[in-house]
């Protein structure tokens, strides 16, 4: 009696132990042809890429391919290019609340970890002495400008790597605005006043189609058809005014 | 044991005092201009450390004993450090030579540093490299504590085997004696074998079979329900990347490396250039000090080896501080897999909904080895859609529909489910 109970207990224990799945290996799939995609999946492994990347689907884009919205950055990655960018390049985005907010968010993800969320060079990695010599943005020897900041973010400099793979050009410029605002704060300057988005109609600013329609509607309602033509010219005049 | 410890500390005191004496003598020789090495260390770390290390080349050359290298010419060093480019342009022969020797890399100007500051920094650069901790002593301690358990277990096993053998032999000899002396060894009386007794007892058979059936049904159900569910899956990766160190201790944002989670369907595996953003400077894991990252299970040697694997894959030569161009892809093992028939978009959840990564991926900042935290089943998705309110602040896209639907359902805040987050076609098409 006792022996047989032990025997059963042993069986159950064995079952429990053998059912304990091995975490190092993947489990089972039901109907794999519904699980695995027919087209090439991101990061999938395929024989056809064997000669190119050793089977991995992750590759650089074909040479000469251009991402939507991408514009070439023609200043070269060398000392002359740096000096040129520092002297001549300026931020094409308007200094709006929206751009600044987006720049702040991105800055705290990508830059603050070393440069500090206040731009004083006291980021977590700098404080923990993992990365040394991170300068504050108001460092006199570097005397950063919008152009030099963009150039360095785009190509990297010395120990700092390029951030062009993590952010788009527009995002880099948004961060750029925030970096310059941090520099102003460190220099104890008055913060630069932001531009109201509604007042500026620039091709760069993203305006929702809804807003445009609303604008046109109010114009036709209030001013009649004759005035609408003049209204359509408004963006151009505004743009000139901004420049 | 106590004796060994004493001997160790005795040796340590001797080596330490020897090292102390050595530093004393060298610093005595180096005190040409009175610089404070401690103040210099802080200045070095905040100004020079971006490009220079003391004992290894970085972006700039190693700076140990730099004063001796330039024959103690402090005036020249002041000029060079404050504005090296101006010195080169003035046609100073040595400046031009140094510039060309180091690959024409431009050193930043440091007009803010005073001569006294530079004296301090130069005093710090004279600090000799601390001797590596005495290997033998450390290993001796480890042997005393860790390996002994295995030895004890081995000895116990050996004793056990010997005991069994001895018992067997004793039994044999006794039997031999018995037959030799003509004593009849009493055979145990035959009883009904246990299995026969078991089969004869019908009640017991019934109960056992019911129990067995229930048990197997339980396990069969569990096994079937785990098909396609990989919760807890923690494969061994080609490079041991510790999320604990990166996201936890160093508090690096998830989106720093997984930047495509902001803007795309996939939260991409970072390409190795992202690793090199930091690991160009960080070639070693801090083994001691305030910011040490090592644990009992993973030593400094182990982590340093993993960084070397990264260098090999990305083709970075730490000696020359340049890329060799010989790269090899790292075959990371994918952990989170959704079946092809379910659509999931990271940017929708990360950027639009503003959900923390940890909500689905668990306490990644504590994971030494990454594992799948959530079951990723449909029930799990839907449950969250039912409980989570839609984030409408700062999102004009949702304003109109939220207004209409919240009126229809008579609620203040819509959940994702009420916005259509339960519709089949949202994820399956």
- The full set of domain ranges for chain B reads 31-125, 145-180, 194-227, 243-376, 377-429
DSSP codes of every residue in B202-271: HHHHHHHHHHHHHHHHHHHHHHHHTTT--TT--PPPSS---HIIIIIIS---HHHHSGGGTTSSS-PPPP
- Tell me the domain boundaries of chain A: 79-186, 197-242
Distance CA B411, CA A5 (A): 59
ipTM above 0.85, yes or no: no
The residues with which A160 forms a beta bridge, in sequence order, are A157
Q: Which residue of B has its CA nearest to A15?
A: B219
B31-125: which CATH architecture?
Orthogonal Bundle (1.10)
- Interface contact B329-A109, CB threshold 8 A: no
Distance CA A112, CA A104 (A): 10
- Inter-residue contact B85 to B99 (CB < 8 Å): no
Segment holding B123, helix H or strand E? helix B115-125
Q: Which residues in chain A have Cβ-Cβ distances shorter than 8 Å to B49?
A: 131-133
Task: Grade residue A203 by pLDDT with cuts at 50, 70 and 90.
Answer: very low
In chain A, positions 143-172, which contact chain B (CB-CB < 8 Å)? Answer: 156, 158-163, 165-167
The token pair that represents B119 in the structure block: 């004296």
Residues in chain B: 429
The token pair that represents A195 in the structure block: 């531009």
Backbone dihedral angles phi then psi of residue B139, each to the nearest 5 degrees? -65, -40
A79-186: which CATH architecture?
Orthogonal Bundle (1.10)
- Looking up tokens 């004890």, which residue turns up? B152
Q: Indicate whether B366 pLDDT > 80.
A: yes
Q: Which residues in chain B have Cβ-Cβ distances shorter than 8 Å to A207?
A: none
User: Does A196 or B138 have the greater pLDDT score?
Assistant: A196
- Inter-residue contact A148 to A82 (CB < 8 Å): yes
Under 8 Å CB-to-CB from A45, ≥6 apart: which residues? A55, A56, A57
Percent above pLDDT 70 for chain B: 88
Task: Grade residue B350 by pLDDT with cuts at 50, 70 and 90.
Answer: very high
Count the Cβ atoms, other than its own, within 10 Å of residue B102: 14
Distance CA B394, CA A211 (A): 15
Give the per-residue pLDDT at A7: 56
Closest by Cα among A120, A128, A41, A93 to A203: A93
- Inter-residue contact A77 to A153 (CB < 8 Å): no
Most confident of A78-92, B106-120, B390-404: A78-92
Mean pLDDT of A7-26: 57
Mean pLDDT of B360-386: 92
Closest by Cα among A119, A116, A103, A121 to A175: A103
- Interface contact B329-A56, CB threshold 8 A: yes
Distance CA A122, CA B46 (A): 9
DSSP character for B348?
Answer: I
Max intra-chain CA distance, chain A: 104
Q: Indicate whether B28 pLDDT > 50.
A: no
Q: Indicate whether A33 pLDDT > 90.
A: no
**Would an 8 Å CB–CB cutoff place A133 in contact with chain B?**
yes
Give the per-residue pLDDT at B139: 44
Give the per-residue pLDDT at A18: 46
- Inter-residue contact A131 to B281 (CB < 8 Å): yes
- CA B219 to each of CA A5, A11, B65: distance values in angstroms, whole numbers, following the listed order: 20, 13, 70
Task: Grade residue A27 by pLDDT with cuts at 50, 70 and 90.
Answer: confident
């Amino acid at each position: 009696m006792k022996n047989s109970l032990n025997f059963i207990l042993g069986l159950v224990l064995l079952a429990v132990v053998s059912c304990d799945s091995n975490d190092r290996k993947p489990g089972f799939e039901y109907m794999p042809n519904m699980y695995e995609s027919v087209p090439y999946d991101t990061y999938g492994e395929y024989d056809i890429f064997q000669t190119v990347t050793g089977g991995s689907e992750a590759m650089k884009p074909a040479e000469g391919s251009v991402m939507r919205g991408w514009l070439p950055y023609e200043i070269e990655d060398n000392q002359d290019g740096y000096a040129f960018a520092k002297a001549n390049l300026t931020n094409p985005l308007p200094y709006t609340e929206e751009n600044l907010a987006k720049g702040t968010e991105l800055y705290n993800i990508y830059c603050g970890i070393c440069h500090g969320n206040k731009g004083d060079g006291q980021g977590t990695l700098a404080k923990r002495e993992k990365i040394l010599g991170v300068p504050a943005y108001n460092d006199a020897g570097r005397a950063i400008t919008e152009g030099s900041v963009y150039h360095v973010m785009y190509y990297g400099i010395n120990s700092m790597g390029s951030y062009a793979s993590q952010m788009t050009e527009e995002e880099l410029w948004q961060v750029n605005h925030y970096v310059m605002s941090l520099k102003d704060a460190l220099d104890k300057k008055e913060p630069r006043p932001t531009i109201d988005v509604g007042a500026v109609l620039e091709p760069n600013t993203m305006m929702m189609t809804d807003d445009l329609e609303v604008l046109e509607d109010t114009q036709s309602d209030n001013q009649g058809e004759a005035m609408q033509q003049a209204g359509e010219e408004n963006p151009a005049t505004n743009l000139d005014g901004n420049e | 044991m106590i004796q060994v410890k004493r001997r160790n500390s005795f040796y340590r005191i001797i080596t330490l005092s020897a090292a102390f004496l050595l530093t004393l003598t060298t610093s005595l020789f180096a005190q040409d201009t009175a610089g404070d090495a401690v103040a210099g260390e802080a200045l070095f770390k905040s100004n020079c450390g971006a490009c220079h290390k003391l004992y290894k080349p970085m972006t700039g050359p190693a700076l140990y004993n730099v004063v001796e290298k330039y024959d103690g010419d402090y005036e020249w060093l002041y000029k060079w450090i404050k504005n090296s480019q101006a010195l080169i342009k003035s046609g100073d022969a040595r400046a031009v030579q140094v510039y060309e020797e180091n690959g024409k890399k431009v050193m930043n100007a440091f007009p803010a540093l005073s001569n006294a500051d530079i004296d301090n920094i130069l005093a710090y650069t004279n600090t000799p490299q601390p001797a590596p901790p005495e290997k033998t002593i450390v290993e001796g301690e480890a042997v005393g504590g860790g390996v002994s358990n295995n030895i004890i277990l081995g000895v116990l096993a050996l004793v056990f085997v010997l005991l069994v053998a001895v018992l067997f032999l004793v039994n044999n000899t006794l039997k031999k004696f018995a037959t030799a002396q003509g004593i009849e060894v009493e055979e145990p009386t035959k009883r009904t074998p246990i299995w026969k007794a078991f089969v004869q007892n019908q009640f017991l058979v019934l109960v056992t079979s019911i129990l067995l059936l229930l048990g197997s049904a339980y396990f069969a159900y569990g096994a079937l329900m785990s098909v396609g569910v990989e919760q807890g899956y923690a494969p061994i990766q080609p490079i041991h990347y510790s999320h604990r160190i990166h996201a936890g201790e160093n508090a690096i944002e998830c989106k720093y490396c997984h930047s495509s989670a902001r803007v795309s369907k996939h939260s991409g595996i970072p390409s190795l250039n992202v690793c090199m953003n930091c690991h160009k400077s960080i070639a070693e894991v801090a083994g001691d000090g305030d910011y040490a990252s090592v644990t009992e299970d993973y030593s400094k040697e182990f982590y340093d080896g993993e960084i070397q694997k990264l260098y090999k894959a990305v083709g970075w030569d730490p000696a020359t501080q340049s890329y060799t161009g010989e790269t090899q892809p790292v075959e990371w093992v994918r952990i989170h897999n959704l079946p092809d028939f379910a659509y999931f978009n990271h940017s929708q959840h990360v950027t639009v909904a503003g959900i923390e990564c940890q909500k689905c991926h668990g306490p990644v900042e504590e994971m030494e080895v990454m594992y799948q935290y959530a079951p990723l089943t449909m029930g799990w998705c839907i449950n969250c859609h039912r409980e989570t309110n839609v984030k409408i602040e700062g999102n004009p896209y949702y304003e109109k529909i939220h207004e209409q639907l919240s009126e229809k359902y008579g609620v203040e805040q819509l959940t994702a489910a009420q916005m259509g987050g339960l519709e089949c076609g949202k994820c399956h098409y």
